[in-house]
Amino acid sequence: MTLQVYGPWAQQFVDLLAKFTGLRLVLNGEAVTVSPDTLLNPFESETLQDLVFEIVANPNVVRIAAFSTAPRPGFFGDWFRAHPADHRPRRTVFVGDLQRADELSSICARGLMGHILREYFGAARPPGQEPGRAFANYHVPAIHTEAEIVSELTGRPIWTGSTRPWEHTYGKINVRSYGPALKYQLVLGANGLARIIEPAGL
**Range 44-59 burial, b when 16+ CB lie within 10 A, else e:** bbebbbebbeebbeee
- Segment interacting with Zn ion (CB under 5 A) among 31-39, 57-65, 112-120, 125-133: 112-120
Q: Can you tell me which of 63, 83, 90, 139 binds Zn ion, judged by CB under 5 A?
A: 139
Q: How far apart are CA 5 and CA 39, in angstroms?
A: 22
Decide: is 63 part of the binding site for Zn ion (CB under 5 A).
no
Closest to Zn ion by CB, 85 or 136: 136
Task: Give the type of residue at 114.
Answer: G
Decide: is 142 part of the binding site for Zn ion (CB under 5 A).
yes
Coil, strand or helix at 68:
coil
- Segment interacting with Zn ion (CB under 5 A) among 24-32, 84-92, 139-147, 149-157: 139-147
Decide: is 83 part of the binding site for Zn ion (CB under 5 A).
no
Shortest gap between Cβ of 134 and Zn ion (angstroms)? 12
Q: What are the residues facing 192 on neighbouring strands? A: 189
Decide: is 113 part of the binding site for Zn ion (CB under 5 A).
no
Decide: is 98 part of the binding site for Zn ion (CB under 5 A).
no
Cα dist from 19 to 44, 48, 82, 106, 151, whole Å: 9, 11, 27, 10, 18
What does DSSP assign to residue 125? B
**92 within 8 A of 78, measured Cβ to Cβ:** yes
- Segment interacting with Zn ion (CB under 5 A) among 29-37, 89-97, 106-114, 135-143: 135-143
Shortest gap between Cβ of 113 and Zn ion (angstroms)? 12
